[in-house]
Chains A and B, each alone.
Chain A
Amino acid sequence: MTAPRVERPGLFYPKLPATWWLRNANYFRFMLRELSSVFIALFLVVFLVQLHRLSQGPGAYAAYLETLRAPGWIIFHVVALAFALYHSVTWFNLTGVVQVVRLGERQVPPRLVAGASFALWAVVSVVLLWFLLRG
């Protein structure tokens, strides 16, 4: 890591407090966006446990689904879903900014790239739903 900054005498060096993200709405939204990763990871761990119970037989699987019916778990999943959707929306919006797409010599406007990402998300979601819920 880099050496700590040498402070010159006479100058005032401001310190950014750990609560900086409460200072403006954009900073706060940034923190929510980053925090979404925690809820997504927690859900995936719960889902992994569900798959593990699946391999242990119908009884274990049914018992686990019964556990997930508890109000606490439902609230957790509702909150996690809200964060997951927030992650998707912010991610696809920023994809347009990060990923430069060119058609010939022209750069495709970032909004169009973001729009295409949202369209892809919709298609993938519908296909997945159909696959999971048919039959």
Chain B
Amino acid sequence: MATRKTSEPFWWLLFAAGGMVAALLVPVHLLVHGLAVPLGWTSISHARMLALAGHPLVKLYLFALIALPLYHWAHRFRFILEDLGLRGLRTPIAILCYGAAVLGTVATLWVLWQI
């Protein structure tokens, strides 16, 4: 299938970029926003968080932080499903996984636009 052959490097590049972003940045954010703040180990006030997230450069950073690892997920999840024996459904699985990542990208843009 010609389309699959040519689109593969594109998704792989997004996967690789997302994997790198996830590896470098996600653990700290997970620790701070998922555990430290909810558990009260530290606090980031609404005003400060808003001021931070409102900065254009930080928005750009947040966009990369959230959107790119979605493609990393889409790529790996697609192959997990194929490796679990769903090879007959390769094309629909690829469309669903990458489609979900694209939707996530749009949602990220929308949320960041509102801040």
Q: A contacts B directly in the complex (CB < 8 Å)?
A: yes
Asked if A43 and B85 sit within 8 Å, CB to CB, the answer is no
Please report the C-alpha to C-alpha distance between residue A91 and residue B26 in the assembled complex, in whole angstroms. 13
Interface SS of chain B: helix, strand, loop or mixed?
A: helix
Q: How far is the CB of A116 from chain B (nearest CB, A)?
A: 13
For chain B, residues 63 to 102, give those with C-beta under 8 angstroms from any C-beta of chain A. 65-66, 69-70, 72-73, 75-77, 79-80, 83-85, 90
Known: A74-B39, A87-B22, A92-B23. A43 touches B34 (CB 8 A): yes
- The interface residues of chain A lying within 8 Å CB-to-CB of B104 are 41, 45, 48
Judged by a CB distance under 8 angstroms, whether A21 is at the interface is yes
For chain A, residues 105 to 135, give those with C-beta under 8 angstroms from any C-beta of chain B. 120-121, 124-125, 128-129, 132-133, 135
Asked if A37 and B115 sit within 8 Å, CB to CB, the answer is no
Asked if B32 and A129 sit within 8 Å, CB to CB, the answer is yes
Report, as a range, how many residues of chain B touch the other chain. 35 or more
Q: Which of these, A38, A54, A80, contacts B46 with CB under 8 Å?
A: A54
Q: How far is the CB of B43 from chain A (nearest CB, A)?
A: 9
- By CB atoms of chain A within 10 A, which of B26, B50, B76, B115 has the most? B26
Asked if A77 and B50 sit within 8 Å, CB to CB, the answer is no
Q: Measuring CB to CB, which residues of chain A are less than 8 angstroms from any residue of chain B?
A: 1, 17-18, 20-21, 31, 34-35, 37-38, 40-41, 43-48, 50-52, 54-55, 57-58, 61-62, 65, 68-69, 73-74, 76-78, 80-81, 84-85, 87-88, 91-92, 120-121, 124-125, 128-129, 132-133, 135
The 9 A-B residue pairs whose C-beta atoms are closest, nearest first, are A77-B34, A41-B73, A18-B85, A91-B23, A68-B38, A37-B76, A58-B46, A88-B23, A37-B73
A41-B69, A41-B70, A46-B34 known, 13 other contacts, Cβ within 8 Å: A37-B19, A37-B77, A43-B29, A44-B66, A51-B53, A51-B112, A73-B38, A77-B35, A77-B38, A81-B30, A91-B20, A121-B23, A125-B27
